[in-house]
Amino acid sequence: MKPPPGLKLIDENGRRMDGRRPDELRKITMKAGVLKRADGSCYLEWGNNKVIAGVYGPREVHPRHDQDATQAIVRCRYSMSPFSVDDRKRPGPDRRSQEISKLLGEALSPVVLRQMFPRTAIDVFCEILEAEAGTRCAALTAASVALADAGIPMKGMVASVAAGKIDNTVVLDLRKEEDNFGDTDLPVAIIPKTGEIVLLQMDGHFTDDEFDVAMQYSIDACHQIHGMQKQALREKYLDAAVEKRMSEPAESEVML
């Protein structure tokens, strides 16, 4: 879609509407272990996206004919809340959320050591509380942290981000207007530990050179995001250790 007259997605200094450089991420914060009743969880804010991911499992699959006798199945549900977008979104599944649920499951399956848990399911729920473009990448990033928080054995985490093209410039991490009025959107997810690509979609066109730049921006950013994911998990265990120490009687009290 063409931008309305007067709306400049990128200025003469190469800065974007929010002042970012082409290869700059929006602000990202994440916190692991935010839900009491899920086995693992993560709350993530990415620009104006707000996402919560909760994980259950491994748990027995019912009905039994859905079981895989050799390995666990990873099931994902991506869901947008009615208040996540400007116009109230009709609650419940739609074509888009079904497609995103499927691709999230397919991106996460290769990292989970599924052979360790035959006949079980690992269920991942991603709830989009507020959406401002890039929610599938945000959901995938949060889901990986939630899986790790649940103690699910994995060969690495999945980190994800989209790149795109606006005004003939390749940019990283599209915000809403850039997604709506830009030319290309390329969501990517990798396992930073191994370099494997587990998600690659493209809407629009890139030349070969633009595609290479977009991939390089995305891969570099995924490594940056991976650092944040590890930090979120570290912080959870540091907080737990501090809490435990505070609740234990001091050594002098024990002696009394």
Q: Which is nearer to ligand ADP, 77 or 230 (CB)?
A: 77
Q: Which is nearer to ligand ADP, 18 or 66 (CB)?
A: 18
- Of 123, 127, 132, 173, which one interacts with ligand ADP (CB under 6 A)? 132
Reported for 7-16, long-range contacts at CB under 8 A and 24+ positions apart, including other chains, are: 7/177, 7/181, 8/167, 9/166, 9/167, 9/177, 9/178, 9/181, 9/182, 10/166, 10/167, 10/169, 10/171, 14/169, 16/166, 16/171, 16/175, 16/178
Q: Which is nearer to ligand ADP, 101 or 135 (CB)?
A: 135
Q: Which is nearer to ligand ADP, 90 or 244 (CB)?
A: 90
Q: Which of residues 89-118 bind ligand ADP (CB under 6 A)?
A: 89, 96
Is residue 133 involved in binding ligand ADP (CB under 6 A)? Answer: yes
- Other beta carbons within 10 Å of 66: 11
- Of 68, 179, 196, 220, which one interacts with ligand ADP (CB under 6 A)? 179
Q: Which is nearer to ligand ADP, 106 or 248 (CB)?
A: 106
Query: Taking the complex as a whole, how short is the minimal distance between the CB of residue 86 and ligand ADP, in angstroms?
Result: 6
Return d(Cα 82, Cα 87) in angstroms, integer: 8
**CB 54, CB 78: distance < 8 Å:** no
- Of 12, 87, 209, 253, which one interacts with ligand ADP (CB under 6 A)? 87
Query: Taking the complex as a whole, how short is the minimal distance between the CB of residue 48 and ligand ADP, in angstroms?
Result: 9
**CB 144, CB 159: distance < 8 Å:** yes
Is residue 176 involved in binding ligand ADP (CB under 6 A)? Answer: yes
